[in-house]
Amino acid sequence: MPILVMKFGGTSVATLDRIRRAAKRVGREVANGYDVIVIVSAMSGETNKLVGYVEETSPLFDAREYDAVVSSGENVTAGLMALTLQEMDVPARSWQGWQVPLRTTSAHASARIEEIPTGNITAKFAEGMKVAVVAGFQGISPEGRITTLGRGGSDTTAVAFAAAFGAERCDIYTDVDGVYTTDPRITSKARKLDRIAFEEMLELASLGAKVLQTRSVELAMRYNVRLRVLSSFEDNDENAGTLVCSEEDIVESNVVAGVAYSRDEAKMTLVSVADRPGIAAAIFGPLAEAGVNVDMIVQNIAEEGRTDMTFSCPTDQVKRAEKAMTDAQERGEINFHDLVADTDVCKVSIVGIGMRSHAGVAAKMFSTLRDEGINIKVITTSEIKVSVLVDRKYMELAVQSLHDAFGLERAA
């Protein structure tokens, strides 16, 4: 039998009624001839509640016990989904991560998947089981302790299972009906994409689009797992949602596929740093050790042996970055005149594989922002994206104007 992986997010299983609705979708796929692996998240709001319990009980908590507690939400959903399918006369059973077993590293709360042996579930399919309901987000460490994969880890679980079992497709059911050219809450002209390339989806996810978790897209691209993003609240036919696939499976696309934004960005500038070999390593080494996620980096032209170094990072990591830089200066590793943090900025990006073969895309982006009176503070580019840092008050205007300028409301 061909295998299909179906993943249901927290909003899709938030109540018993929604679990029943999801179970009916699974039942239809079983009737279509599939053996189905269902990956479930915790019911909406449950993980946040469990995290709150842990933090209230032990502010300096043991990460191993944290994982034991917060992973329990998925166990509940998996059991309820299996029970619901059984009531529909669909042979199903639930699986916790350790029962598969989904083997991970020992990095509690942010473990990475190392192996998914297929033997246990395959044997049950051979015995007549039609649906394996697997608790997402969790696994087991080499030491035999429960681990979790980090927030959004159920997406990663689903893609990993699809890769391990050679699934025909991995369907991600969520509260939106696909991937859009930008956030529909910002512009009503946002258009749902029928298909998007792995690379484009990976850039959009990393730049602020929240439809899919970045790690799940990386995994899908590495193992060529066809992903389909669907709404769990609408009736879907075989062409519904957005298919995330290889570039070769897309016949024609716009030069720019989408506009992404990240609201919570900060711009930090080290003023008057010595311009010498190794200065970048001396700055960004301590930042990396402190767990600061640096994105954009700009170094000004040196004057009289001094230069300014600017970088961006999430706003909630500014204090950490400031401490790392101050500590490095006290140790004599770097010397700077001042450290200036601007926490009132945002990042706006355009993404598209068509940029590889079309000139003038960046120029069009910059002229569009100029015409709207939006000043660009920092720029960074890759082969298929251009990102800029601008004042946060201009975020919506920037997104709307770029969406219009590249005609994203129209299909290619």
Q: How many residues does the chain have?
A: 412
Inter-residue contact 233 to 17 (CB < 8 Å): no
Give the Cα separation of 374 and 87 in Å (integer).
58
| Beta carbons within 8 Å of 243's beta carbon, 6+ residues apart | 194, 195, 196, 226, 227, 228, 249
* 297 burial level (CB within 10 Å; 0-12, 13-18, 19+): middle
The answer on whether 319 is annotated among ligand-binding residues is: no
CA distances to 37, 39, 50, 171, 360 from 94, in Å: 10, 10, 21, 19, 53
The answer on whether 7 is annotated among ligand-binding residues is: yes
The answer on whether 278 is annotated among ligand-binding residues is: no
The answer on whether 368 is annotated among ligand-binding residues is: no
Give the Cα separation of 40 and 96 in Å (integer).
11
CA distances to 174, 293, 348, 408 from 182, in Å: 17, 24, 11, 9
The answer on whether 74 is annotated among ligand-binding residues is: yes
The answer on whether 180 is annotated among ligand-binding residues is: yes
The answer on whether 174 is annotated among ligand-binding residues is: yes
The answer on whether 233 is annotated among ligand-binding residues is: no
Tell whether the torsion through CA atoms of 109, 113, 119 and 124 is positive or negative.
positive
The answer on whether 47 is annotated among ligand-binding residues is: yes
The answer on whether 175 is annotated among ligand-binding residues is: yes
The backbone region for 121, taken as left when phi is positive above 0, alpha when psi lies in -120 to 50, beta otherwise, is alpha
* Numbered residues of the known binding site for substrate: 47, 74
* Numbered residues of the known binding site: 7-10, 47, 74, 174-175, 180, 185, 210-211
* Numbered residues of the known binding site for ATP: 7-10, 174-175, 180, 185, 210-211
